[in-house]
Amino acid sequence: MPFPRPRRGTRGGRLSRRLAVTLALVASAATMAACSGTSASGEGRTITYHADYPAYDSANNLFQKADVVIEATVSAAPARVQELKPDTTSDDPKLNPAAGAPAEQTAEADPVVISVYRAEVKKVYKGAVQPGQTIEIQQLGGQLDGITYQEAEAHPLKQETGYVLFLQTYPDAPAALLNPVQGQYPLDAAGKPSNLPENPVALTADDLKRISGAN
């Protein structure tokens, strides 16, 4: 699958890179900065990813862009946290972000780490999934080998919490939110979707019925 191009940032600065579509994070321009560590091995360090994403101005646009739109419950903490590794034998920058880069630059690159959650599908508004099915959803960041990887301004999915999710899907990778803020609508105590504070697009059950054509 395509692979994102991470680079080490200097303190107080940013270096541009492009997130691969299958990382999910919608093929957007992105940057990453690494905070200082507390040991020579890097344990205790925090690496923060900074990314820009397409924004959506209506529920209709979110629905049209998504491959899958579901109501689902995140069943547990991340099922796994993993580093995405490039295909170092390829000259294709989508598969090997180090292709053509100087050796000293690739040696300094920080890894790209994702957390993979499992969610049980409750309702399907769009896409080739079924109620009762368990799907995997990836988000950028996680804890691996004593280092914390996090995305600035992201909202990690919460276990045992219901959501309406707008997802992109891939043949060889977990699904991913359209973007970290607008791809998820937590359900309130009454089971109604609520937009996150940074998300200007409200969503109601009636909106979902209307745009999905559900009865």
Helix (H, G, I), strand (E, B) or coil at 142: strand
pLDDT digits (tens, 9 = 90+) for 79-112: 999 998 765 666 665 555 555 666 655 555 567 8
What whole-number distance in Å separates Cα of residue 113 and Cα of residue 145? 11
Which pLDDT does position 53 carry in this prediction?
Answer: 86
Which pLDDT does position 118 carry in this prediction?
Answer: 96
pLDDT digits (tens, 9 = 90+) for 164-185: 999 999 988 999 999 999 999 9
pLDDT of residue 214 exceeding 60, the answer is: yes
In this prediction, residues 129-133 reach a mean pLDDT of 97
What whole-number distance in Å separates Cα of residue 75 and Cα of residue 13? 37
Which pLDDT does position 76 carry in this prediction?
Answer: 79
- In the block, tokens 């925090």 appear at 46
Helix (H, G, I), strand (E, B) or coil at 22: helix
Residue 48 tokens, joined: 């923060």
Helix (H, G, I), strand (E, B) or coil at 17: strand
Under DSSP, the state recorded for 21 is G
pLDDT digits (tens, 9 = 90+) for 14-73: 222 233 333 433 223 233 333 434 344 556 889 998 888 899 999 999 999 999 999 999
Alpha carbon 165 to its chain's center: 12
Task: Look at phi and psi of residue 57 and say left if phi exceeds 0, alpha if psi is from -120 to 50, else beta.
Answer: alpha
Q: Does the predicted model carry a pTM greater than 0.85?
A: no
Which pLDDT does position 154 carry in this prediction?
Answer: 85
Which pLDDT does position 58 carry in this prediction?
Answer: 96
pLDDT band at 155 (very low <50, low <70, confident <90, very high): very high
Which pLDDT does position 74 carry in this prediction?
Answer: 96
